[in-house]
Structure 1
Amino acid sequence: MAESDERTRLLTNENRPQYSFNSSIARERKKRVKQFQCLLCGIFLCCIIVALIVSIVFSINVTFDDGTASNNSTNETAPVEIFNILMSQTWPLKDEEIKNITSNDSSQWKAALLFGSKELDKKDNIELNTPTLPVDTPSYRHQKVTPTSIKALQLSRIGYLEEYGAKYMHRNGSKGAIMKICPNVTSNYLDEFCQKSTITCNELQRYRSFDGTCNNLKNPDKFGTSFRPFRRAIAADYGDGISSPRVSKSGQPLPTARTVSLIVHRPFYRDDVKFSVMLAVWGQFVDHDITATALSKGSNGSSISCCGDQSTIHPECFPVIIDKDDPLMKDNVTCMEFVRSAPTPTCCLGSRQQMNQVTAFIDGSVIYGVEHSLVSSLRTMQGGTLKMYVTKDNRTLLPVSQNVNDGCNREDARKKGEYCFEAGDSRSNENLHLTSMHTIWARHHNNIANNLSRINPHWNDEQIFQETRKIIGAQMQHITYKEFLPILLGPEIMKSFNLYPQKTGNFQSYNDSVDATIANNFATAAFRFAHTIIPGLMKFLANDSKSPEFIEMHKMLFNPFKLYEPGEMDRALRGAVNTNIEANDPFFTNELKQHLFERDEEKNNTKTKRYGLDLVSLNIQRGRDHGLPGYVEWRSHCGFKKPETFSDFSYDMDEYSLSNIKSLYRDVEDVDLYTGALSEKPLNGSILGPTLTCLILDQFIRLKYGDRYWYENPNEEIGFNPRQLDEIRKTTLAKIICDNSDNVTHIQPRVMERISQNNDNIPCEKIPRMNLTYWKDNLRKIPMGDNQMDVKTSQSNDIHIS
């Protein structure tokens, strides 16, 4: 009998023979069955894996795990139709006419203005007990980055008085829609803004005024000038018809701006590999050249706190409310600081308007300022140059600011002798890239001024300064319309509306009936689209381009001190031209949504923990503060079909953004312009959707067609001769960076686009440079009795000065 082993049955009721081996046939059969089963399992598993991969890829492109949508698809079914609609409009678009009535009742006018004066006194008394913001806080820095000049502060007081005068007028006799009530009586408050212009303009004046006056000879102190109201393309939509922030069509409050930010504008990171961060840098630089909204301040220029002591609430407060489900509520944060934009005076009593403190024209005011006192403070008054600070290693930076309350200067930096900077625009310290751009252009001004002084030694300081400023403004216009706008609008629209710079000759379409004034919607919503393309991490690159350093974006805010270190500006510039932007869509980096103006030491200090601001919430809130009508009204203004239901949005928005919007807003007409426009799919050849394309196109048409000093205009007395114009057309932002950085030696020619086969890194010397010898005066000596006199003559064809 066979011996027992591990295969022997312990219990058995049958006698069976014990074999010393199994059948080979049976073993083979079992083996093949197992192989077949494994094959089937493998095929099934592969199918599952493939399906999983496809679903993940699809979800990356379409939706996140929280249900939020990506907006990477373009509006491919609509471009022809949308383009045809745009082409069928009369450009620039006609602004909506606001009805007005004339009042001859002097007693009513007197009573209305007296009521406004009393309300202004009340505001001043409230400010005696209203707390100000702590200096070293994100909210204080935010208020500092929206500056209000002394002149704007004074004007805003009249605007506030008028606002309450309008409320008195409409409360006492006016019925129906709010209209402008214009005086037919004398008023000390309104006469300055109602009487026809008394400015005398010289139409052959060679140089622009600093404040934009006399650009338009028919409206010399209105079209495009500084310290005037933004232009209203559509009548304001205020809760009370006059000044209170916009509300739902039902009369109920709109969803809080913070909730819209959290639900619709969630964080998502998707690069646009075609364009560089320099696109956003230039966009901000140009934006600061043409817009500067005045913010409400205390009567002495102090900041206003809205989330502190609730017993005394300032009438200009409009804080962002934090909902109960907001993550900030776990730390008992119920309110985000927000102060309304300052009101501006107008001739008539009507709805509240906001003030632009700078000129509308692309004229370099961001470098020089718009008030004579500021311009003079930035000049050396020698050789037409600007003041600069010289570092220990003999580099030039912007002049320093020693104002400890500017929201930028820091104690630890001051101990090292490092300060923030001063420029023609007080926002120059907002981020390191912007400060670098200011520095580049101030250096560029001085380089041009020094060369003009050498070429024309008989020119005095004023002539050199003004001629340099004129060239700088022309170069800024050329870069904006040659390199920047085509990315925003696409080549087809640029060509169709004659927005590209001329290749030869002059631009012949200046129209003095075109009002170049910046639209309220442009400054408050449309041109803020660029916030969505800012990445959370900024790259810094050394010369070798192989050792990148990445810095969180919020650490660059109000932190220009790296510029004191040799090589750091070059690393920042190289990083900007070598970092992808984020895709233009409804989604934002958390650097802007959670950490705006935050400093790490404040965040980590448990005793005084302070949270960064949410820029998206602030942008939405600003639109409501300004009474911007809802998104659907702007669609209609542009000539597109006005949506009547949420399903009408599906043509231009992806379903996930639309779903989030629908979950928050009660009515299709409630959707904010900023949220609706950013949620549109971009058009082919552009990074913008239809509504943003329309609103930005309209403004830049006005800035070109409505600028008498546009650099390509044919009048040589105030413009440039043909050869000078040819030299200005050589301008590229790449060359200006090359010539005015410390040691950038290689760069791609189109710096707002990423490096590619057709835009590769090349040595700086291969990029064309403007030849200033065409600005040389030809002087011929003419006998005058016993003396000789230098007389300027036409330039010869063979001028060559090294």
Structure 2
Amino acid sequence: MIKLFHIFMLVLHFMHHSSSDDSVKSDCVVSPPPCTKSKYRSYDGTCNNLKKPLLGSSNTPYRRLLPANYGDGISSPPLSKSGQPLPLARYISTTVYPDIPLKDPIWTLNTMQWGQIITHDLALLKTTGSDTCCANDNSTKDEKCWPITIPPLDIMSLVSNTKCMSFLRTDTDRDGKCVEGNQPAEQINSVNHFLDLSIVYGISDESHKQLRENKGGRLIVEQRNDQDWPPHDPTNPTCLGKEKKEACYLAGDTRVNQNTQLTLLQVILLREHNRIADVLFKLNPHWDDETIFQEARKILIAQHQHISYYEMLHIFLGKKELVKEKIIYETEGFVNDYDENVDPAVLNEHSHAAFRYFHSLIAGHLKLVLESRLSFSKVRLSSWLNRPSILEEENNFDDLSRGLATQSEYLADAFHTSEITQFLFRGNNTFGKDLKATDIQRNRDHGLARYNDYREYCGLKRAKTFWDLLGSMSPLVVFKLSKIYKNVDDIDLSVGGSLENHAKPAMVGTTFLCIIKKQFYRTRVGDRFWFENGGETGFTLDQLKEIRKSSISRLLCDNSHNVKLMQPRGFEKISLINLPTSCNNLPAVNLTLWKDPVP
């Protein structure tokens, strides 16, 4: 029923001018899907909100904090205040975001990588068209293609005569003919908007079925070298032309093969589901496959939510700020503050500007680390994009797992590794794509309001001249912006927000902190199935206390092949107060509390 509904449903864009009440207009649909009472979530996010069954479901629009800023007021890319095109995204990338590898002294690469797990769980752009839409003359007939122009004196142009990079505009509700007239276009999120591990379980009833073993509540795996791996996916575009021996995995998310450490964590989560399912099967042999599967899924989602909010998020935003804004609570009991009037949908500004700031944390080379914590080799990031087979070579999975918890992430700053600004997805070519230029172009593609608008929205004084930014940015940064943009009101959100001085102890400036806080509040409070809520959809209090023992360190220990030691706080670097210890010494979730008292 849900499948048929989603095939024929039409989606209405939502105008959101204020974050105070998160009010939105109704969906453009014939009728909402029928909702049956269940203690388990749907895969597509429908019926999480029983009053508004489509709220937060897949294939619905992102929301906005401020109205769109399209050039024509409807869908065309924005223009400068003078009516001229904005500065080239690639020029801004190479001018403002150089490769200066400054390492974070406290936090590990685990932190950055778990951030991508959260990002992929919450959002996926929907694009249609050819990804090779960039011709040498920088022209195309594809209306979805909006190439990123390479300046004449750019190193890509000088060395390889590259004129542009492919860029496809995101699909919107106007493409689906849901809105007419002059209503501004709203981009579509292909996955549901909840933090529910859709990257593991799929985004629909149909997609999740191909992941199920249909026995013992397990997900399908393939065994090689005494280890479990995701099944091969011959239909994934990144797998086309690859032999089965060249690993290309099937998971709940099509981006599973994108980069080595992302894939590693996806494998960890897959194995953790099956580990939990195996224990539940032994505890409750009378349970059928579906019950075991759903209970294991519910537990793993809860672990994911706990690790994300209580172990990782404070690193980005600061713990006091999270408690103050009621994003997390300091309690041993239930939280129970679900609000059906809070829209959980992902904010366009968060997903396509603010949270992308953390691309600066990416390291260009990944360390392989022994049990002694000595690094003996490293892997170049761009050499193994969409090539996860490296994980199955020798002891690489364990060595890279230790590397995640040992290697420093890069500092949250304006500097980006060349692996993502010059060589991203390069394949056999000299150069690849530029992630920072792509972020700026995507900001414009989505018609996000100007940085100055969000600056004012988030409580900072609106800048009338470039020099009014000095309280928020360094003099050098302000000088660069004044040379790139003609008017202070032209500055893109993804640029201005990324250059603000940090609002310590947060790792972001005031504007991005404001946006990200709003997102993670609505993600939690707008989720009826949030793990800290009691009642039929939740856990018993004793079970909840066990869930709160979850940690990234224990997750790596339990699902690697031969990792025996791990520091208690896996997002934090090893130190005298965070020394590696036996995995058996780390707190673990006691699953015996899920034993059915009445077989």
- Provide the TM-score with structure 1 as the length reference: 0.70
Give me the whole-angstrom Cα distance separating, in 2, the residues matched to 1:232 and 1:495: 24
Letter in 1 for 2:196: D
Structure 1 equivalent of residue 89 of structure 2 = 257
1:332: how far off?
2.4
CA distance 1:501–1:282, shift in 2 (3 Å):
farther
Structure 2 equivalent of residue 85 of structure 1 = none
Structure 2 equivalent of residue 210 of structure 1 = 43
Give me the whole-angstrom Cα distance separating, in 1, the residues matched to 2:131 and 2:4: 16
Give me the whole-angstrom Cα distance separating, in 2, the residues matched to 1:239 and 1:677: 21
1:269-668 correspondence runs (5 A):
269-297=101-129, 303-308=131-136, 312-330=140-158, 331-344=160-173, 345=176, 347-349=178-180, 350-391=183-224, 393-403=225-235, 406-408=237-239, 411=242, 414=243, 417-599=245-427, 601-603=428-430, 611-668=431-488
Letter in 2 for 1:663: K
Cα offsets for 1:46-66 (capped at 9, x unmatched): xxxxxxxxxxxxxxxxxxxxx
Indicate whether 1:714 and 2:542 are aligned.
no
SS of 1:618's equivalent in the other structure is helix
Indicate whether 1:247 and 2:79 are aligned.
yes
CA distance 1:292–1:670, shift in 2 (3 Å):
same
Indicate whether 1:752 and 2:580 are aligned.
no
SS of 1:241's equivalent in the other structure is coil
From 667, 671, 674, the equivalent of 2:491 is 671
Structure 1 equivalent of residue 20 of structure 2 = none
Q: Is residue 338–residue 525 contact of structure 2 (8 Å, CA) maintained in 1?
A: yes
Q: Is residue 197–residue 220 contact of structure 1 (8 Å, CA) maintained in 2?
A: no
1:532: how far off?
0.6
Structure 2 equivalent of residue 194 of structure 1 = 28
From 765, 768, 778, the equivalent of 2:584 is 765
1:400: how far off?
1.0
Give me the whole-angstrom Cα distance separating, in 1, the residues matched to 2:8 and 2:399: 42
Structure 1 equivalent of residue 23 of structure 2 = none
CA distance 1:674–1:401, shift in 2 (3 Å):
same
Letter in 2 for 1:374: S
Letter in 2 for 1:211: D
CA distance 1:488–1:422, shift in 2 (3 Å):
same
Give me the whole-angstrom Cα distance separating, in 2, the residues matched to 1:374 and 1:224: 18
Q: Is residue 306–residue 339 contact of structure 1 (8 Å, CA) maintained in 2?
A: no
SS of 2:107's equivalent in the other structure is strand
Letter in 2 for 1:237: N
Structure 1 equivalent of residue 22 of structure 2 = none
1:44-193 correspondence runs (5 A):
none
Give me the whole-angstrom Cα distance separating, in 1, the residues matched to 2:564 and 2:156: 47
SS of 2:343's equivalent in the other structure is coil
Letter in 1 for 2:568: P
1:575: how far off?
1.0
CA distance 1:155–1:657, shift in 2 (3 Å):
farther
Cα offsets for 1:429-474 (capped at 9, x unmatched): 0011111111111110001111111111111011111111111111
Letter in 2 for 1:336: M
Letter in 1 for 2:152: K
1:722: how far off?
0.7
Letter in 1 for 2:497: A
1:509: how far off?
1.8
Q: More displaced, 324-333 or 247-256?
A: 324-333
Cα offsets for 1:313-366 (capped at 9, x unmatched): 211111111222322222322211111111224754311111111111111111
Q: What 5-or-longer segments of structure 1 have no aligned partner?
A: 1-149, 164-178, 180-191, 604-610, 780-789, 791-802
Give me the whole-angstrom Cα distance separating, in 1, the residues matched to 2:227 and 2:352: 37
Give me the whole-angstrom Cα distance separating, in 2, the residues matched to 1:712 and 1:312: 51
Structure 2 equivalent of residue 693 of structure 1 = 513
CA distance 1:770–1:346, shift in 2 (3 Å):
farther
SS of 1:549's equivalent in the other structure is strand
Letter in 1 for 2:228: T
1:547: how far off?
4.1
Which aligned runs of 4 or more in structure 1 are off by greater than 4 angstroms? Answer: 150-156, 308-312, 408-411
Cα offsets for 1:501-548 (capped at 9, x unmatched): 553111032111100100111111111112111122221112232342
From 582, 595, 599, the equivalent of 1:776 is 595
1:309: how far off?
7.1
Q: Is residue 233–residue 239 contact of structure 2 (8 Å, CA) maintained in 1?
A: no
Q: Is residue 365–residue 381 contact of structure 2 (8 Å, CA) maintained in 1?
A: yes
- Provide the TM-score with structure 2 as the length reference: 0.93
Give me the whole-angstrom Cα distance separating, in 1, the residues matched to 2:177 and 2:476: 43
Letter in 1 for 2:209: S
1:151: how far off?
10
Q: Is residue 398–residue 562 contact of structure 2 (8 Å, CA) maintained in 1?
A: yes
Q: Is residue 542–residue 571 contact of structure 1 (8 Å, CA) maintained in 2?
A: yes
Q: What 5-or-longer segments of structure 2 have no aligned partner?
A: 18-25
Give me the whole-angstrom Cα distance separating, in 1, the residues matched to 2:232 and 2:172: 31
Give me the whole-angstrom Cα distance separating, in 1, the residues matched to 2:189 and 2:346: 8
1:563: how far off?
2.0
Letter in 2 for 1:602: N
Give me the whole-angstrom Cα distance separating, in 1, the residues matched to 2:587 and 2:356: 33
1:725-736 correspondence runs (5 A):
725-736=544-555
Give me the whole-angstrom Cα distance separating, in 2, the residues matched to 1:310 and 1:575: 41
Give me the whole-angstrom Cα distance separating, in 2, the residues matched to 1:243 and 1:271: 40
Q: Is residue 218–residue 273 contact of structure 2 (8 Å, CA) maintained in 1?
A: yes
Letter in 1 for 2:80: S
CA distance 1:547–1:229, shift in 2 (3 Å):
closer
Q: Is residue 586–residue 675 contact of structure 1 (8 Å, CA) maintained in 2?
A: no
Give me the whole-angstrom Cα distance separating, in 1, the residues matched to 2:256 and 2:223: 18
Identity of aligned residues (%): 38
Structure 2 equivalent of residue 55 of structure 1 = none
